[in-house]
Structure 1
Amino acid sequence: MAKDADAFRTIGELSGQLGVAQHILRYWETRFPQLQPLTRAGNRRYYRPEDVALVERINRLLNEDGYTIRGVQKVLAGKTEERGSAPAKPETGAVRLPPDLLAELKTLRSNLADALAE
Structure 2
Amino acid sequence: MAEQTGVRFTTVALDTPDPRGLAAFYAALLGWRVDEDTSGDEWVNVRGDVPGLHLAFQLAPDHVPPTWPAGDVPQQVHLDFHVADWDSTQPRVLELGGRLVQDEAEHPSWRVYADPAGHLFCLCLDSA
Q: Same fold (TM over 0.5)?
A: no
Structure that is richer in strand per residue: 2
Greater RCO, CA 8 A, separation 6+: 2
- Normalising by structure 2, report the TM-score: 0.27
- Normalising by structure 1, report the TM-score: 0.29
